Amino acid sequence: MDDTSPADQFIPAGLAALEIEADEIDLAVMGAVHELLWPPLLELLAFDTHAVEPERRADLSRAPE
Amino acid sequence: MTAPLDLGLRAQAAAIAAGEIDPGELLDDALARIEQRNPALNAVVETFPERSREMLAAAPQGPLHGVPVVIKDEWPLPWRAERFGAAELTVPTAPGESGPYRALRDAGATIVGVGNMHELGAGSTGNTSCYGAARNPWDTERCPGGSSSGPAASAAARLVAGAVGADGLGSVRFPAAYCGLTGLKPTFGRSAMEGHHMAPITTLIVSGPLCADAADCRLLASVLFGEELATGEASSLRIGVIRDTVSEDVTPEVAAACEAAIEQLRAETGGEVREIALPDLEAATLAAILLINSESMSGTTPAQLNDLDPELSPVARGTLKYRMLIPAAALAQANLVRTLMRRRLAALFTEVDVIAWPTIPAPAPPLEEPLVELPAGTSSADQANVRGGALANLTGIPAISMPVGLSEEGLPLALQLQAAWGQDGLLLDAAEALERANGRRWVEALPPLATQAEPTEA
């Protein structure tokens, strides 16, 4: 069974693709952030927004039209 | 007799205008008090007496003529670039006339110091900063809140009567709550933001006032808005409450204080409390987090991330690098969630005038380990706090935090009200109504550090 966590793959791959260097401490922090952020991020990606019509030229100082 | 510096913002302004207080002496008093009390707080990270005296000498007869204030380390001043609480920013900064500086200067205020802040604005506790942690005047071993930690601690300890903070996910409201102040997060775009290094890109951050009470916040907000926010009467207030994590996963004393305050507000305004539903708050919170994190990386290159200042905290370094990996699809989705929540709120605000829930789920946690014990379990204060703060920033609506009690340990508890776009004045009216209802008990409560006797001259 593969016991590699998604962070073990995602973070090094992402950093390598962007040519961003990271030491062990950076990786530990990124892993912790990933553990917190990634599950809800996946939920957000799965959130059904098909019925939401995008707001064109949204003015955040006012109610949506 | 009350020391001039212990008066509120509007009382100081009125006393100066009436010739009862000499503004030069008030400035000297503020500098002396910073020298006396700030070592225990680390709230003010820099003073510049000569610059302050120059501001006072040139101050117009505006609504804050001669009144000392503190501004967060988030905007440049003509003599100082902002540091954003960090050893390094990945965007260039330089001294200059920022919008809040101009607003304060044109109102006649005297900027007496720069307030500490959570490093990169990326926390609700204020325990991490290139200047060292700021401390809470109610208990200096506790977090003052963040990211506007220094402005809040300054105003709570009565170093000044008013301070300017910034709020991107709750960064005015959390420290206001932890420090027993009133703090307003204005409607997006309404308060001065020019000169902020993220001003051209942000869709979430606003400047906002932190003061003892709502009337003082109204005065400082009027200055930041460049328009007077007239006092009104909050009557027949329809108060919406939501039975969800944000109002239920809170400590029993937070729940009790907020429920009591909501009932007081209802009774005072002859209003009603309505249970309402606002689904998908968790998605809204994450959307706001993703958007502010991605906006903060605008203009930052991978090469810059490979050459970060070693003095930047390990958390900041790792977090900055992680932000570069946020998928674009999630940002597109976050914007759709924003639209969805804006439409839902627009519909809700035809049924209620304000939405009420606790500003913070638990009082200020220890600086050393900012964890909070909630019914659902132990959580980092940041994770728990953002649930109550992010919606207003995501959607652009105004929100206010006001003190509504003290915990058994003597730490402030706070209620948040949110209203429709442009209804900043209504929030201040409602906060004043609540102050009347509770006899101003909580806005006049002073932390131990603010009741210290002044040193007497030999």
pLDDT 10s digits, B230-245? 999 999 999 999 999 9
pLDDT tens sequence for chain B (458 residues): 789 999 999 999 999 999 999 999 999 999 999 999 999 999 999 999 999 999 999 999 999 999 999 999 999 999 999 999 999 888 889 999 999 999 999 999 999 999 999 999 999 999 999 999 999 999 999 999 999 999 999 999 999 999 999 999 999 999 999 999 999 999 999 999 999 999 999 999 999 999 999 999 999 999 999 999 999 999 999 999 999 999 999 999 999 999 999 999 999 999 999 999 999 999 999 999 999 999 999 989 999 999 998 899 999 999 999 999 999 999 999 999 999 999 999 999 999 999 999 999 999 999 999 999 999 999 999 999 999 999 999 999 999 999 999 999 999 999 999 999 999 999 999 999 999 999 999 999 999 999 877 765 44
Length of chain A: 65
A47/B317 touch (CB, cutoff 8 Å), yes or no: no
pLDDT in tens, B122-147: 999 999 999 999 999 999 999 999 99
Structure token pair of residue B138: 């109610």
Supply B224's token pair.
């930041």
* The token pair that represents B309 in the structure block: 């200042």
Cβ contact B110:B59 at 8 Å? yes
pTM: 0.97
From chain A, pick out residues whose CB is under 8 angstroms from the CB of B302: 18-20
Q: What is the DSSP letter of B316?
A: H
CA dihedral B359, B375, B283, B381 (to 10 degrees): 50
Q: Determine the pLDDT at residue A57.
A: 87
In this structure, what token pair is assigned to residue A61?
A: 């100082």
Q: Do B340 and A52 touch (CB under 8 A)?
A: yes
Report the chain B residue with the minimal C-alpha distance to residue A62: B421
Name the residues of B annotated as catalytic: 72, 147, 171
Measure the CA–CA gap between B19 and B9, rounded to whole angstroms.
Answer: 16
Give the three-state DSSP class for B113.
strand
What is the chain A residue with the closest CA to B344?
Answer: A64
- What's the start-to-end Cα distance of chain A, in Å? 52
Sign of CA dihedral B388, B389, B391, B397: positive
Cβ-based contacts of B334 with chain A (< 8 Å): 44
The candidate with the shortest Cα–Cα distance to B161, out of B3, B2, B1, B12, is B12
C-beta of residue B367 within 8 angstroms of C-beta of residue B377:
no
Closest CA to B66 of B17, B118, B134: B17
Pairing of strands B354-358, B110-115: unpaired
Give CA–CA dist B311/B288, Å, rounded.
28
**Apex B265 CA angle, B262 and B271, nearest 5:** 105
B339–A58: do the CB atoms touch at under 8 Å? yes
Q: Residues in chain A with pLDDT < 50?
A: 1
Q: Are the CB atoms for B137 and B41 separated by under 8 Å?
A: yes
List Cβ neighbours of B339 (8 Å cut-off, separation of 6 or more): A52, A53, A54, A55, A58, A64
The answer to whether the beta carbons of residues B317 and B119 sit under 8 Å apart is no
Write out chain A residues lying below 8 Å of B322, CB-based: 11, 29-30, 33-34, 37
Cβ–Cβ below 8 Å for A29 and B325: no
Q: What is the pLDDT of residue A1?
A: 43
Q: How far apart are the C-alpha atoms of B381 and B435, rounded to whole Å?
A: 27
Q: Is A60 in contact with B333 (Cβ distance < 8 A)?
A: no
Q: Name residues whose C-beta falls within 8 Å of residue B218's C-beta, 6 or more positions apart in sequence.
A: B229, B231, B425, B428
CA angle, B386 as apex, B135 and B295 as ends, to 5°? Answer: 100
Rg (CA), chain B: 20
In this structure, is the dihedral angle defined by the CA atoms of residues B163, B152, B422 and B75, taken in order, positive or negative?
positive
Any bridge partners for residue B77, and if so which? B80
Shortest alpha-carbon distance between residue B346 and chain A (Å): 6
CB atoms under 10 Å from CB of B135, counted, come to 28
